[in-house]
Amino acid sequence: MFPVLQLSELNQLPPDTPRYGVMGHPVAHSLSPQVQLAAFQACNLPATYVRFDVPPEQLDTAVQTLRTLNFQGWNCTLPNKVALAQYMDELAESARAMQAVNTVLRDDDGRLIGFNTDGDGWVRAIREDFSIDVRDLRILILGSGGAGQALARQAAMEKCERLVIVNRTPEKANLLRQELEPLLHSTKLLGAQDRLKIVPWDEAAIADELNTIDLVVNTTSVGLRPADPAVLPARILQPHLFIYDTIYRPAKTRFLHAAAEAGCRSANGLSMLLHQGALSFEIWTGRSAPLTAMRKALREAAA
């Protein structure tokens, strides 16, 4: 029902209907068409929304093609979110802060404006799932890849109570620390240095940090495959913790099973995907997103 198109096939879309889509490589897994088309339908807005495969070496051609075909907007998933920023005519504050673009709007003058809804979508998801704001939490993020960096930046911009980043590559995490330190520099809580901390991927070191953490977020890919272990074992988790796994397929990773065993409240990444998409819809249309319709479509698509 939602095939993956190549760039050469995009000119076959109905010319009189506003065009939207999602680019990625791979992109077949994306649930964005189901969610966004449900939103357009709920608001009685005509639109097409398609998936199209764009390897990194074709990004320049892809942007030119989308300009030529008058796409009104599109989403971008891995691996092109960082590189896409250089092709924009303007970057919104969200894209500048995240140093990546996941939502593009073509304005009335034909200019391409890049946004990023990753961080704000996550903030909304945490509020929905746990009834608390990111700014009030002490947060431990597992991983500092693309998703980990985005959520760490958002947590720092929200002035969260404490931020601990766990990563296997210290050099990468320390570069992120240098970037975020000015945002979190304060004598609040445990002092300027303790408010932002890099921790090696060591079970004992992580367990020690969990004594002063409220929310644990997995941004790694551990859990995507059935054979994957829990990214953290139940024996070091504590019942007071909120556990958020950005993975949503499978719906319950071994990490979330471990969280249940430890008595923690937990949620998967479906809520983050929902709110990221809702923010994109609002950017494109200027309307409030029909969350009920989008949530229903997302749950059905992910089942």
Q: Which of 81, 188, 197, 252 is catalytic?
A: 81
Distance, in Å, from the CA atom of 92 to the CA atom of 283, rounded to the nearest integer, reads: 11
Distance, in Å, from the CA atom of 166 to the CA atom of 142, rounded to the nearest integer, reads: 5
Give φ, ψ of 80 to 5 degrees.
-105, 5
Residue 197 is a catalytic residue: no
Helix axis angle for 270-285 and 291-302, nearest 10°, is: 140
Distance, in Å, from the CA atom of 39 to the CA atom of 52, rounded to the nearest integer, reads: 20
Q: Are 166 and 206 in contact (CB under 8 A)?
A: yes
Distance, in Å, from the CA atom of 199 to the CA atom of 129, rounded to the nearest integer, reads: 27
Q: Are 197 and 169 in contact (CB under 8 A)?
A: no
196 to 115, 209, 292: CA distances (angstroms): 27, 12, 37
Give φ, ψ of 184 to 5 degrees.
-115, 5
The DSSP H or E segment spanning 167 is strand 162-167
Q: Are 301 and 49 in contact (CB under 8 A)?
A: no
Task: Identify the sign of the CA torsion 205, 211, 213, 218.
Answer: positive
Task: Identify the sign of the CA torsion 105, 106, 108, 111.
Answer: positive
Q: Which residues contact 90 (CB under 8 A, 6 or more apart)?
A: 111, 112, 113, 114
Residues serving a catalytic function are 81
